[in-house]
Structure 1
Amino acid sequence: MMMLYLQWRVAPEIFHIGSFALRYYSVAFMAAFLVSYVLLSVVFRREGTPPALLEKLTIYIFVGTLAGARLGHCLFYDFDYYRYHLWEIILPVTHNEQGWVFTGYQGLASHGGAIGILLAAALFCRRYQVPYSWLLDRLALAVPFAGCLIRIGNFFNAEIIGIPTQLPWAVIFTRVDNIPRHPAQLYEALCYAVIGGWLWYAYRYKQALSRPGTIFGWLLMAVFSVRFGLEFIKENQAAFENGHLLNMGQLLSIPLIAIGIYCLYHAKRKYGKREPD
């Protein structure tokens, strides 16, 4: 029986103006920050934290995420190219027959983004005297939904595709090839949305507030365990990963899972069975 798979033919650009193109991924990336801002504003308002602090935090996290994700891609996945094109890390333009073309930051790595967020949050806490574990627990409530939107952007870009499959919900990314594949981006997006809902449930009902660092620990454990597992049904992102037991995404997930385990252990050991305030 012939299967009727979804033929994904959507172009990654919404529109062109000269050499500039607005991509669905760019919209998803900005939507991720907007949704995160709205969710954190709910948290700050609920806890009586000054809104001005959130505005300052947004700048730190935006810069940290973009810088970390960009450097993560350039160093972890495509270092052989960018070590000879250092300026393209910061200024995403390339030259072809039509002249100079703005390409946008198409190479962004989620692990680098995670590291960038941690460093930006640390700098923010030092500058404004905010407890680090308190802030990480609150950021953890927004991160999964941001990740969900970014993976949807990856789906529109027909990137981070899955390995071939004959499952009825397989997708043919026609800009890549004509092979039915796992829509791995959508699997990941769905998992992140579920994780985000679970963390909000824990937060709203004060399940974890009595142990600072617990929500953040759960975030790292859940998100990067999902990432580690789903890598088995994804195509490798770089040629050097071929033939290896674990790819770069899995290798980078292991230390973050370990940090999550440590956060949970530390919170339990330090705060025990302390009741929520």
Structure 2
Amino acid sequence: MNLMAVPMQVVWDPNPELFKIFGIPLRYYGLLWGVGLFFAYIIVRYQYRDKKIPEKKFEPLFFYCFFGILIGARLGHVIFYQPELLVQSPLEVILPIHIDVAGKWHFKGYSGLASHGGTIGLIIALWLYVRKTKLNYVDVLDMIAVATPITACFIRLANLMNSEIIGKATDVPWAFIFANNSEAGMVPRHPAQLYEALAYLLFFFIMIYLYKKYSTKLHRGFFFGLCLTLIFTFRFFIEFLKENQVTFEDGMQFNMGQWLSVPFIILGLACIFAGKKLDKMKPEIKR
């Protein structure tokens, strides 16, 4: 990595690969995703133990979350941003590869993952999980919500290491030049990925504080609603500082990420302000 600060800008050109194993690269992107999921695993496990939920009910949770997020995020990216892949190269939809014009396969990892799709995938996966474990659906959503911001933080750091999801040109003193992104040009830009990572880290501390101090006083669904509201409201406004990810967004007043954030904000606010009705949901968590 060559991180070089010069007046009014930071030249950002890290090598996205840590090393290769049998020709397969291990990238910071995958590593940081893994670290984010690991922290979420630790935090949710603590909550299960805090609520005295049997270990056997916790054991399958990671499986459901991992595949729900991965499948949802990948399909979300393809459906919302790159639907032509469904026809042109369906294998790239389901496999972490790129097929070049000569038909040769290149292992590149999943370079297109959408947070909105990942959220939908996680919500569906948790519904399947509670059908198996007979836990309360909203209680599980609440516990996952407490851990979600720290995972989101590491995902945005992964995007930073990949020099993707770049910000718009700017002259702020902390602007980044994304030297590894040919489409960005040698132009100082907002490090939007870093903005998001720091915001999500702050949201995580807020969630942990509220859980430790008020978890027994707040109604069911509050943490889920707060998580959605904080993350997607910030996501809506930070998009004004980002370059559009695909060309069809150029003619839109609000880009795809902003439009997709609105339903989650509405759902989050509903859970915060009308969520006391969720306290009546059965079954209760089985101790």
**TM class, shorter-chain normalised?**
over 0.9
- String of CA shifts for 1:149-186, please: whole Å, max 9, x gaps: 00000000000110011111111111222111110001
Q: Which moved more, 1:205-214 or 1:126-135?
A: 205-214
The within-5 A match list for 1:89-168 is 89-96=93-100, 99-168=104-173
Distance 2:116 2:237 in 1: 15
On the 8 A contact 2:73/2:118 being kept in 1, the answer is: yes
- String of CA shifts for 1:60-85, please: whole Å, max 9, x gaps: 00110000000000100001233322
TM-score scaled by length of structure 1: 0.93
On the 8 A contact 1:19/1:101 being kept in 2, the answer is: no
Listed as ranges, the gaps of 5+ residues in structure 1 are 273-277
Q: 1:18 offset after TM fit, Å?
A: 5.3
Match 1:205 to one of 213, 224, 230: 213
Distance 2:233 2:207 in 1: 15
Q: What's the RMSD between the two structures over aligned residues? A: 1.8
2:268 alignment counterpart: 260
Q: 1:100 offset after TM fit, Å?
A: 2.3
Distance 2:82 2:53 in 1: 41
Q: 1:207 offset after TM fit, Å?
A: 5.0
2:219 corresponds to 1:214 = no
Distance 1:167 1:210 in 2: 41
Q: 1:91 offset after TM fit, Å?
A: 1.7
- String of CA shifts for 1:86-124, please: whole Å, max 9, x gaps: 222112323346942112111100000000010001111
Percent identity for Structure 1 against Structure 2: 40
**Secondary structure at the counterpart of residue 48 of structure 2:** helix
**Secondary structure at the counterpart of residue 124 of structure 1:** helix
Distance 2:132 2:260 in 1: 29
Change (3 A) 1:263 1:178: same
1:275 alignment counterpart: none
On the 8 A contact 1:152/1:185 being kept in 2, the answer is: yes
On the 8 A contact 2:220/2:276 being kept in 1, the answer is: no
2:32 corresponds to 1:24 = no
2:56 corresponds to 1:48 = no
The amino acid of 1:222's aligned partner reads L
Q: How many residues are aligned here? A: 271
Distance 1:52 1:25 in 2: 31
- String of CA shifts for 1:241-266, please: whole Å, max 9, x gaps: 01210000000000000111111233
Q: 1:3 offset after TM fit, Å?
A: 2.6
On the 8 A contact 2:20/2:26 being kept in 1, the answer is: yes
1:193 alignment counterpart: 201
On the 8 A contact 1:217/1:260 being kept in 2, the answer is: yes
2:62 corresponds to 1:58 = yes
On the 8 A contact 2:74/2:93 being kept in 1, the answer is: yes
**Secondary structure at the counterpart of residue 15 of structure 1:** strand
Match 1:87 to one of 70, 91, 95: 91
On the 8 A contact 1:73/1:107 being kept in 2, the answer is: yes
Distance 1:256 1:10 in 2: 34
The amino acid of 2:40's aligned partner reads S
Listed as ranges, the gaps of 5+ residues in structure 2 are 1-5, 281-287
Distance 1:57 1:81 in 2: 31
2:3 alignment counterpart: none
2:233 corresponds to 1:225 = yes
